[in-house]
Structure 1
Amino acid sequence: MSSADPETDLSEDERRGLQLIRETGGIHQSDFWKELDVSSRKGSRIVDSLADQEMIEREEAVYDGHNTYYLKPTAKDLDFSLLMAGDMLSPFVGDEEVDPRSDQFTQWLMNLAYEE
């Protein structure tokens, strides 16, 4: 029977691979196996396993003139808590420029202060 946290079921190489992808925010598969210091074949097996378990996303890419994959963490892996103050999302998230003297920013900061 599988444990509640699927990461505990990963091999040491899979854990290292997942950590590398998370830390880089995304890496080409051709660099991935080199960074892990494993063979390309073993690197491909690690990527297949992590992708099958939906822990990473794999997109086709061309890198240095070769077809490869770009590996990135899944969206569920991203931590947005640092952008939150209570139930308010940071006003700096988005395309518009935010005036740090605005009421919107002041309210967000006040909510942030109340969390502590």
Structure 2
Amino acid sequence: MPKQNDLEQKALNIIMSSGEKGILQSDLWREINASSREGSRISIRLENKGLIYREPELSRGRWTYRLYPKRQPVSIDSILDCPCLSCEENLRCGAGGKVSPNDCDKLIEWALKENPG
């Protein structure tokens, strides 16, 4: 039988990978091969540690909780097309220098395109 910490870590990984849609607590304990009691206790412990939050939800005529991660995994997708990554002036660029991100037209244009309004 796996250790409690191993089950907690496995459960947390599953919850983290569920992202914004979350996962039903009843589905989680089935996925980690735990009893409903163990699954409930694990989710309560993770909530008490501040790693997840739970919201009650009616599913298939029964009340359960939907579990969501408090933090999303880090992703660099949002900055992959940042002009700084391929800029030929990258080595000379710095705040207060001759080439500066403070007045870079390419960077300003990219930032406005990514975050309109």
Q: Secondary structure at the match of 1:33?
A: helix
TM-score (norm 2): 0.62
**2:17 aligned to 23, 30, 38, which one?**
23
Map Cα deviations across residues 1-41 of structure 1 (whole Å, 9 max, x no partner).
Answer: xxxxxxxxx81110000011112222001111001110000
Measure how far apart 1:109 and its partner are: 4.0
User: Aligned pair count?
Assistant: 83
- The residue aligned with 1:111 is 84
**Which 4+ stretches in 1 moved above 3 angstroms?**
none
Map Cα deviations across residues 47-73 of structure 1 (whole Å, 9 max, x no partner).
Answer: 010000011111111111211100011
Residues 66 and 110 from structure 1, CA distance in 2 versus in 1: closer, same or farther, beyond 3 angstroms?
same
Q: Secondary structure at the match of 2:46?
A: helix
- The residue aligned with 1:98 is none
Structure whose alpha-carbon radius of gyration is higher: 2
**1:82 aligned to 71, 77, 85, which one?**
77
TM-score (norm 1): 0.62
For the residues of structure 2 that align with 1:113 and 1:66, how far apart are their CA atoms? 53
- The residue aligned with 1:3 is none
For the residues of structure 1 that align with 2:82 and 2:35, how far apart are their CA atoms? 49
Residues 32 and 62 from structure 1, CA distance in 2 versus in 1: closer, same or farther, beyond 3 angstroms?
same
| 1:48 equivalent in alignment to 2:44 | yes
Q: Secondary structure at the match of 2:29?
A: helix
**What does residue range 57-96 of structure 1 map to in structure 2 within 5 Å?**
57-74=53-70, 76-84=71-79
For the residues of structure 2 that align with 1:39 and 1:54, how far apart are their CA atoms? 23
